[in-house]
Homo-oligomer: A and B are copies of this chain.
Amino acid sequence: MKKKAVFYHAGCPVCVSAEQSVLAALDRNRFDVEVVHLGTAKGRVSEAEKLGIKSVPALSLDSQIFHINFGANLSDLK
């Protein structure tokens, strides 16, 4: 069974770079990948917040959160 990887971003240049490199490097045979644009999917900002996400881009791997570089604060996306 595949694990879940969720990439949260806001369309910023730092986010795009992380998506194109880090997310693209994940092993898709082991991870189901979902990409969430918090700028458009405003309803999921609270989900990200509950997961412990402080800024984007962030990657949730099997519910563990990794902030990758810094694009924008989550609080600026509300």
Q: Judging by beta carbons under 8 Å apart, are B27 and A59 in contact?
A: no
- Report the copy number of this chain in the oligomer: 2
Q: Judging by beta carbons under 8 Å apart, are B69 and A69 in contact?
A: no
Q: Judging by beta carbons under 8 Å apart, are B68 and A67 in contact?
A: yes
Q: Judging by beta carbons under 8 Å apart, are A21 and B69 in contact?
A: no
* Residue numbers in B under 8 Å from A67 (CB-CB): 68-70
Q: List 22 A-B contacts (CB under 8 A).
A: A5-B25, A17-B64, A21-B61, A21-B62, A21-B64, A21-B66, A22-B22, A22-B59, A22-B61, A22-B66, A25-B26, A25-B27, A25-B30, A25-B31, A25-B61, A26-B26, A26-B27, A27-B27, A27-B29, A67-B68, A67-B69, A68-B68
